[in-house]
Amino acid sequence: MTHKERILAAINHEEADQVPTYAFKCEPGFIKKYDDTREINEDNWVQFRQDQTVIVELGIDGTTEPGLGDMSDPEFKFKAIIRPDGSVVGANGQVHKTASDGRFFYVDGYWTSKEARADFPRRIPQPQAVFDEFEKFYKKNVLEKDKLFVWPILSGFHECNWLNIGYVAFAKETRKPTGLLDDLVNELYETNLEIAKRLLDIDNEMVIAFTDDIAYKGHLLCSPNVFDRFYAPKYKQLFDYIHSRGGRTMFHTDGDISPLVPHYIDVGLDLLQGLEPVAGVDIIALNEQYGDKISWNGNIDVSRLLWSGTTDEVRAQCEKIIAAVAPSNNLVFGPSTDIMAWHPLENITALYETARAFDIGARQFRHD
């Protein structure tokens, strides 16, 4: 099977020739560490906006590409706002400061009312030239050479919008709606719909993903009722369109999203990425309850196990999850988020080798 066929098999609940694998991305520090210790085959160089070469080297089936999402309309000629406290308001309404080490950090959202939002550019798709460039990349590296299955990841309705309006304003909006959040969701829906149309013109079997962090350890960042009121209707419309064209859908979110899983199923989500175990997600329990209605992607802990665990501990946990979930033919296996700079190479290698060692038909691991 090709990398694409393997991923789609898991999404479609069909048996693949081996457990499909995924990585959200490799951090630059890990790429450098890999490059310093192993000789990279130049034929494996793959990059659109994000360097996927090490992902190809590791034999991983799929990853997501962030370079195809929305942008602020450049025709607006927006100039960043410098506030008296030194914070900067960007074109997307997010307020940032610069730390002593030079890093930017989020402070608040500026779009606290319809009037405030009106002074900023609208979100629009990237220029068509970007999609034309991606089409060439995709047809060469995914369809022709089968290097890797790369699919786009766009802005989700929750994460994108609360950052722009700030959490205090967001909380007020969910209790006494002014129409601000509705307008922002509608605007992003229209933009994402246009992006989806362009992507599905490239490949009608495209997986279209959304990064939409909506939880943290042990809790959601908004209630299921808020999800249903503000986000679910537009997600359902968008996903219905993607499915009508033959495409599939994925969410990435950190945190314990367990209470939202039935709501994700209701809007038509195909693949849920993240499933962070240290946040409280029990993928085995979720699979027993919902595994016939949705597919899973991720779950192996990046913050403890892959960082400080032994290779034997990594392999044991991988075997536990794969043995319990992969026979449902709905698992795309990998870390819950990024492959981090501090992850030992041997732990990452063990993760993916364990997945490839599982015989799906026999439901057992091959130990050579």
Q: Domains in the chain, please, with CATH? A: 3-70+125-365 (3.20.20.210)
Alpha-carbon torsion, ordered 200, 202, 208, 210, to 10 deg: -110
Q: Any idea what DSSP says for residue 100?
A: T
Q: Give the per-residue pLDDT at 312.
A: 97
Give the span between the Cα atoms of 52 and 150, in whole angstroms: 9
CA 76 from centre of chain: 29
Q: Give the per-residue pLDDT at 328.
A: 97
Cβ within 8 Å of residue 180, ≥6 positions away = 111, 112, 113, 114, 117, 165, 169, 173
Tokens 């722009």 locate to 164
Residues in the chain with pLDDT values less than 50: none
Q: Where are the alpha helices (DSSP H) in the chain?
A: 3-11, 28-37, 53-57, 114-117, 128-138, 157-165, 167-175, 180-202, 224-226, 232-244, 261-267, 283-290, 305-308, 311-325, 345-356
Tokens 């495409």 locate to 247
Among 273, 299, 295, residue whose Cα is nearest residue 354 = 299
Q: In Å, what is the CA distance from 122 to each residue of 72, 86, 251, 260?
A: 6, 25, 24, 29
The first and second tokens of residue 167, run together, are: 């959490």
Residue 19, helix vs strand vs coil: coil
Around 100, how many Cα atoms within 13 Å sit in the side-chain half-sphere? 0
Q: Give the per-residue pLDDT at 368.
A: 66
The burial class, CB within 10 Å (0-12 / 13-18 / 19+), for 135 is middle
User: Is residue 55 within 8 Å of residue 142, measured between CB atoms?
Assistant: no
Residue 13, helix vs strand vs coil: coil
Q: Give the per-residue pLDDT at 223.
A: 96
User: Is residue 173 within 8 Å of residue 180, measured between CB atoms?
Assistant: yes
Beta bridge partners of 71: 124
